[in-house]
Amino acid sequence: MKYKRFLALVGSILLSIQLTTAVSAADPSEKFGDVQSSHWAYGTIQWAINNGVIKGYPDGTFKPSKQVSEAEFLMMFISAYEEVKPISGQTHWADPVYEIAVSKNWPVNGAAKTAIGRATRDQAVTRGDVANIIAGANGINYIGKDAIQYLLNENLAGGKTGSTVEGYKGNDKLTRAEAVAFIKRAMDNGLTKLEDRPRFPTDKPVTPPATNVPTGVKTVYDAIVKTISASAYKGYEVKSNAKEVSVNNSDGYASVSYMLPQSGKGSNQVITFDASSSASQKLATDMLKAAGVPVTSSFTSKLSSAVESRETSTTTYGGYKVSIEPHPTAYDTVVIRFSK
């Protein structure tokens, strides 16, 4: 009898470990060798680790670009809101989160307790699948493009290359870094409780009308979207209106913005709001190039100098007069004015 109780206790402990994550734990204060402070999701990953949403690997890595399965995403997502406990008759580590998802009528693919259903749980989940789940968790019954548009409208998620259904890239597989970014952004923007998904479809979301964007803004927008799509930038989305183009980080805040002159004869501006960050420096450089200013790679060092010295400097690039001006009160903000 004592031996059986001992086995039951061991089984319960092992089950709890499995529920916490599919990988081994890392110290929350540990710095991951593959996630530098310049990584687009660095702060979000630290938040997720410190809040028990996800863990690192035993070798000291986080593997931010590793694809996430539906079961793994559900475990992260639900664990961010409530404790996940073992259930009676459990045979798979993700059974508890699937039981919660099914009870709330969320559209999950691995709900069936069959061989096919179990196999589906371990397949990489897409950004579109995640949109369906998050919309459902917010009490909305949308699928596909409607779910994506809803998340964009409510700022519960951002696109990869633009704040449109197409720019969201719903068919792309979700990575570990993107998963925690989705969860934090949803929590920061109003998803405070996991809701039941209605039985019947919700009325279709409204697609915002196209903005009448001036040619100059559209040129910069198209160029920076192309740069971000074809480069190592991850987790950023590009937005524009009639006067400016902004590149927002995973939390939805502008990292770098391009602005038209306040008057017809003024200077164009590129503003970096995190000028001490190497990622933001490179992004500001690419934004200037998108605006037609042929700055060189050494321009990033000028931004660093401006932050440290708090002094304005002026340089000429290909006929453009470029002025770098540290903001007088916002330490990490630098305004770059340029004109011919």
Reported as type and span, the H/E element at residue 180 is helix 176-188
Q: Structural domain boundaries of the chain?
A: 2-188, 215-339
Reported as type and span, the H/E element at residue 323 is strand 320-326
**Residue 23 vs residues 73, 115, 282: alpha-carbon distances, Å:** 13, 23, 34
Reported as type and span, the H/E element at residue 135 is helix 127-137
One pLDDT digit (tens) per residue for the chain, 340 residues: 444 444 344 444 444 444 444 444 444 445 788 888 888 888 999 999 999 999 899 999 999 999 999 999 999 999 999 999 999 989 899 999 999 999 999 999 998 878 888 889 999 999 999 999 999 999 999 999 999 999 988 888 887 777 788 888 899 999 999 999 999 999 998 899 999 999 999 998 876 655 555 677 888 988 888 888 876 677 788 888 778 888 888 777 788 999 887 655 578 899 998 888 888 899 999 999 999 999 998 899 999 999 899 999 999 999 999 999 998 878 888 999 998 8
Q: How far apart are the first and last CA of the chain?
A: 87
**Residue-level pLDDT at 262:** 63
**Residue-level pLDDT at 209:** 58
181 neighbors 210 (Cβ within 8 angstroms):
no
Pick from 50, 55, 45, 43: nearest CA to 29: 50
CA distance 30 to 340: 49
**Residue-level pLDDT at 54:** 92
CA distance 317 to 293: 7
What is the model's pTM?
Answer: 0.63
* 254: β partners: 248
For residue 25, give every residue at least 6 positions away whose Cβ sits within 8 Å of its Cβ, in sequence order, or none.
Answer: 55, 56
**Residue-level pLDDT at 18:** 44
CA distance 165 to 128: 10
Q: Could you tell me the two tokens for 72?
A: 């793994």
DSSP state at residue 52: T
Between CA 240 and CA 97, with CA 143 as vertex, the angle to 5 degrees is 110
CA distance 77 to 56: 16
* Amino acid letter, 25: A
Burial pattern 292-302, b for ≥16 Cβ within 10 A else e, equals ebebeeebbeb
Reported as type and span, the H/E element at residue 92 is none
CA distance 186 to 193: 10
